[in-house]
Amino acid sequence: MIEDKFMRVLLMFDMPTKSKKDQKNANKFRNSLIKLGFFMMQFSVYVKICKGSASAKTTIKSIEKILPPYGNIRVLTITEKQFDNMQILLGGVSFNEKINDDKNLVLFEYDEKSKDFKYGNEKINKEKKKTKLIQPSLFEF
């Protein structure tokens, strides 16, 4: 079964940051979210675009594996249409939302057999290079 419906996984969290250990846990969690493909929509609200509900469920299972010891973390899965109906009551669309718009999205499929990524019928050679995660500031324009 092929799922073409895009879904959004919204993750909202509050975490303690009083001690150095709390700050370290919070930073580790945020960095792990970015590695999973999330981007910051606004402070403590992260979003990931998924292809279908199965992908969204897999993403949530991945989040459950990286949960910090303390905090309040909630997740909500909605369709792309529901996300598009979101109203901004104050402020505007963040820089992260602009650059991570679904119109800029390119999906690659991982082929277990060849252990390679594919885009449509094309194979893509993967290189195992370490890259630094760069998350633009919420207020960059």
Nearest to 73 by CA among 92, 45, 95, 50: 45
Q: Is 101 annotated as a binding residue?
A: no
- Rounded to whole angstroms, the Cα distance separating 59 from 48 reads 9
DSSP 8-class letter at 43: T
Degrees, nearest 5: CA angle 36-110-98: 45
**Which H or E element spans position 111?**
strand 109-111
Residue list, annotated binding site for Mg(2+): 14
Residue list, annotated binding site: 14
